[in-house]
Structure formats: C-alpha cells, structure tokens
Chains A and B, each alone.
Chain A
Amino acid sequence: MNYIYIFTGLGVVSLFLGLLEKEKLIKYLTGFVLLISLGIIFTLDEKGSYFNQMLLADDLVNPMLKVLLFLGLCHFILFYNTGEEFKLPTAEYTALFCFILVGAIVVTLEFNLVMLFLGIEIISIGLYIIAAGNIQDEKSREASLKYFLMGSFSTGIFLLGITFIYGVTGSFLLSDIKTVSSGIPEGSSPLLLLGTLLILSGLAFKASAVPFHFWTPDVYQGSPTHVTAFMATLVKASVLFAFIRLFNQAFLVTSQTWQNSLWLIIALTVTLGNVTALYQTSFKRMLAYSSIAHAGYMLMGVLVPEDPSYKSILFYALSYSLASLTLFGIYFLLEKKGKADALESFRGLAKQNPELAVLAAISLSSMIGLPPAAGFFAKLNIFTQAFINGYTLLVAIALITSLIGAFYYLRVIGLMFKMDNSVEKIHVGLPFRLIVWVQVILLIVFGIFPALIQ
C-alpha cells in the first residue's frame, strides 16, 4: 500500500521536475527511490487489508511485491540512457514508468474486482502509450495502435464477465464471491460459469495465452526494445500474480469447469508458442513466442491449490524475468550498433565480446531449463506440483514442448559461438554490466539453492 503512495508521488514529482528541466535529477531520484523502497520492503513486511478489503497484503503476496520492485530497479538501470537515445521526454517517460509500476502493485495486492479492473487499465493505458515510444519507426506506431484496439476490445469482454459475476453474487469482493458461489451447486448457474470464463479470457489476453495471444508477436516486435522488456517481465509477472490471486481466492468452487478451460488454454499455449518460435527469424518475435510459451508454463501453477502454487509461480516468474531482462539488454546493445532485428545479429558475438556471449548463454539455458540455472528448478517445481495434483497428460505435453523449445534457444547459442571475423567490439557501460552480472549470478544462485526463494 505504501508503495502505491511512493510511486504515485514519484511520478508527480518527476513531472514537476520535468517542468524545471532537471532531467538528470529525475533519473537519480527515480533510481534512489526504487533502491530505498526495495530496501524497505526487504526489512519490513507489509501486512493487513486496506480500505474495506480493497487491497490485501499477506505473506503470500509479499514476496511478489519484492520481485516486482526488484525487476523495476533492474529494468530502470539496464535501460538507463534509453530516453535520450529515443529522444523521449524524460519526465513523462519516468512518470508513465512509475504509474505502470503502481498498476502492477495494485493488481498484485487486489482483493476486489474493482481494484483488479482499475489496476489492469492503468497498466494497459501506460503501455499503449510507451509502445509508440519510437515514433519515427512505422512498426512502433503500428504496435501501439494494434495493442490499443485489441486491448480495449478485451477490456469489454473482461467487463462483461465481471458484470455476470456481480449479477450472481451481488458483490465485487473476492471472499464474498467465494462464499456466495460455494452455495451454488456446480453447473447449476450458467451465468456464474459464463462470467468466470469471460474473466478468464480477459486475463488470458493480458497474459498473452493462446488463443488470445494474437497481439503479442506484433506488439513485442514493433515496440522499442526497452518497452518490450518491460512488457515481457514486470507486466507479465504482475498479470500472472493477479491471475493466481483471483482464481485461488474467488473461483475455487466453480473449479471443474474453469479448470478444464484453463487446461485447454495451457496445452494450446505451450504447444503453439514453442512450435511457432521455431521458425522465426526476428529475435524479438522469437522472444515474443517464447514469452507466450512461458506464460503457459506459469499458468500451470494456477491449476494447483493455494499455497504451493504461489511459490512456484513466483519462482518461475522471477527466473524467467531475470533471464529475459538480460537477453533484452544484450539485444538492445546489438541494436544500438545498428544490427537488424534478426537472429543473425548474434552471429560471432563470442569473438569480440565473450563476456556478453557467456551471460546470454546462461540466460538462454535458464530459459530452456538446464540444471545450473534457476530455470530448471522453476520448471521442476511447476511440473511436480501439477503432476501431484493429477495433471499427468498436461505435464507430458509441457515436457515435450519444452524439449521442442530447447531447439530455438540452442540455435542462438550456437550462432553466438560461431567464429566470424567481421564482428566489431561492443562497449558496455558500467551500470549495465553490473546489473547484468547481478541478474545472471542470481539466476545461478537460485538454481543451486532453490530453497532461498521459499
């Protein structure tokens, strides 16, 4: 709750500082505030419910807040100078960044459908705008328009779902919805069922799960790289946190039906995401499909009852986000060198920049799920939980598709270590190097001691 105040305030202050044209100060202040609030959240746990249970902070969501703030800090430092390169107005960009972070915190803590709706809208409206950050590029403008049109369409569907739920239960509070709907025998209220399914599709759209994924490749490819990195990590993690909060707290009773639909969605998502990623030539588009697939794996955690699922989704989201932030960061350096948005841009990276190549290789192997990196335990956790709860076929599908997925990650690793003399050296700034190393070291530490996150 305090972090909502802090970051709203920070956004407003940076707007005022922008008026005074103190752009350096804005950046230092943002970094400082992010660091301080990260320090606070690791020392003081937040607990309690706020404003008639609009928001609820408990032991389950506290680690999620930590992850969100940490990812925010990493993203901020990695893309520290991006504003100048794209000639973005620093104050406005920083303010939008802060507001989206507020939205992400709200959806993580939500305990009321009103808050979920408002939080998701704050996130989406902010993203529609910064997707158009590279305005000279036709692709960026196109991404913004597509994201906007499809996003507001999905908002309509999501709202219809909320209305049906309200019509049956007469409340927006998650615990009330659960109480009322537990009195209704399964299948006897089609309205409740339809409402749940509509909300499921609205959220699946935001989490980019098949068959609601069609916007993802275009928007991820078209948006400027720092925005894509933001969407794929912090925003995606917060939407999945909202997903698990909502479905664990409100809809357990209508379980059979929505679980079957979610089962189908996951099976489609992991298959289509991984298979389509195989024949992509654009690196960002490939990562977009890979992020679709990873959303599918994370959604497997939603099928599992309360306690373990929070932890496994948290672990997966953290390891995926760290790896993908590193990859986007390194790709961003290549892009600045004028390389095209293609897998071929990675050819021979190891020759002149062995450091970057090794970091990228570790991140990629974490995405595959190879043992030394955290991705292995993330996948193991999710799959074991699903297996224990009887989703054998789903786990089999997930295993096969993650094997398929290994191909396209390995292809990039192979390209990087192919010797090519025409490659030039890339200069890496100190803050960038620091954060990338921290991320990769964390990946390995969590991979060796997964108990740290429990």
Chain B
Amino acid sequence: MIEIAFFSLSILAVIFAILVITAKNPVHSVLFLVMTFFSIAGHFVLLNAQFIAVVHVIVYAGAIMVLFLFVIMLMNLNKESEPAKPLWLKLSGVITSGLLLLVLTAVFRKTVDKTAHVLPNPDIGLVKNLGMTLFNDFLLPFELSAVLFLTAMVGAVFIGKVKAGN
C-alpha cells in the first residue's frame, strides 16, 4: 500500500518538475510547480511529518507561488515570448545535470543500506514535539530568522524607495 503511494507520488513529482522547466508559458510553470509542491507534501505525510507538510503547502503553494503569479501577471509575461537558448547550451546543461545525477546515484549505491526500515520514532513530526525542539534547542535561530525577514522586508522597501526617489 505504502509503496504504491510512494511510487505514484514520486512519479507525479518528477513529471511535474519536468513540466516546470520545459513549459513555454511562465504561468503554466507556476501551476506545475504548485503541483510538484503538493506531491512533495504528500511525501511528507508519508514520512509522518504532518506539521512540515501543512506548513509546506501554506508557505510554498499558498504564499510563494501566489507571489510568483502576481509578478508574472504584473509584468504581462503570460505569453510564450521567451526565445530559446542555443542548442549547444541546452545540451551542455543536460550533460552537466546528468553528470551530477550520475555522481549522486553512484555515491548512494555505495553508501546507504538498502534494507527496509520502520520509522523509529513516528511522532517527532507532530506540532507538540517540533515545538519543543524549536523553542528549546533552536530558540536563537528562530529569533535570528526575524532579523532575516526584517532584512528582506527592508530590502524590498529600499528598492521601491530608491526607484521612487529618483
């Protein structure tokens, strides 16, 4: 049962990811990316990481992709206007990422055991346990992420202001 779920979600994720990078129309790319995110969220549920799955859908599919859509609509890019890169460049891109994939899989074949596992501690993904870890061990990074967001926010304002000022 779980194998069927895993393989169907994986196949969906890979197909949608391929569509993201090949779609001519940017809006289609965004929609395919949302579908990829949903299948990855499905994987998270399979791995008993319910909280991360929910946050993933809310943050990525909900917030980030809407931002993408807004910008694309704002710039009127929802048409197939992009000229293609020359063939040799595409080919070299394919070769590069293919080589990377080859190296990665070669490494994995050698390392990790192939025996099936049971998840040792199935409720670590619950909000309660994650909250305990986040606010005990990872309090400082959590606070620091506020600085990160402030930087991003001030930055966006900065760019807007500089433009308006001139």
Interface positions of A (Cβ within 8 A of B): 4, 8, 11-12, 15, 50-52, 54-55, 87-89, 92-93, 95-96, 99-100, 102-103, 106, 112, 114-115, 118-119, 121-122, 125-126, 128-130, 132-133, 135-136, 189-191, 194
The distance from the CB of A112 to the nearest CB of chain B, in whole angstroms, is: 8
**Roughly how many angstroms separate A136 CA and B158 CA in the complex, as a whole number?**
14
Interface residue? B139 (CB, 8 A):
yes
Interface positions of B (Cβ within 8 A of A): 103-104, 107-108, 110-112, 136-141, 144-145, 147-148, 150-152, 154-155, 157-159, 161-163, 165-166
Task: Give 21 A-B contacts (CB < 8 Å), ordered by A residue.
Answer: A4-B144, A54-B140, A87-B162, A92-B157, A93-B158, A96-B154, A99-B154, A102-B147, A103-B147, A106-B144, A114-B138, A115-B144, A118-B148, A119-B144, A122-B144, A122-B148, A130-B158, A132-B159, A135-B163, A191-B108, A191-B112
User: Do the beta carbons of A89 and B141 come within 8 Å of each other?
Assistant: no
Most chain A beta-carbon contacts within 10 A, residue among B112, B141, B150, B154: B154
Most chain B beta-carbon contacts within 10 A, residue among A136, A189, A190: A190
Contact of B155 among A96, A102, A112, A135 (CB under 8 A): A96
> B139: which A residues are within 8 A, CB to CB?
51
Q: Which residue of B lies closest to A189 (CB)?
A: B111
Interface contacts (Cβ under 8 Å), in number, total: 92
The distance from the CB of A149 to the nearest CB of chain B, in whole angstroms, is: 15
User: Do the beta carbons of A126 and B141 come within 8 Å of each other?
Assistant: no
> B110: which A residues are within 8 A, CB to CB?
190
The distance from the CB of B68 to the nearest CB of chain A, in whole angstroms, is: 14
> A119: which B residues are within 8 A, CB to CB?
144
User: Do the beta carbons of A129 and B137 come within 8 Å of each other?
Assistant: no
**Roughly how many angstroms separate A17 CA and B137 CA in the complex, as a whole number?**
35
With A118-B144, A191-B107, A194-B107 given, is the CB distance from A87 to B151 under 8 Å? no
User: Do the beta carbons of A125 and B166 come within 8 Å of each other?
Assistant: no
User: Do the beta carbons of A133 and B141 come within 8 Å of each other?
Assistant: no
With A52-B137, A125-B152 given, is the CB distance from A89 to B145 under 8 Å? no
User: Do the beta carbons of B111 and A190 come within 8 Å of each other?
Assistant: yes
**Roughly how many angstroms separate A11 CA and B136 CA in the complex, as a whole number?**
27
**Roughly how many angstroms separate A347 CA and B162 CA in the complex, as a whole number?**
34
User: Do the beta carbons of A121 and B162 come within 8 Å of each other?
Assistant: no
**Roughly how many angstroms separate A55 CA and B143 CA in the complex, as a whole number?**
13
User: Do the beta carbons of B166 and A135 come within 8 Å of each other?
Assistant: yes
> A99: which B residues are within 8 A, CB to CB?
147, 150-151, 154
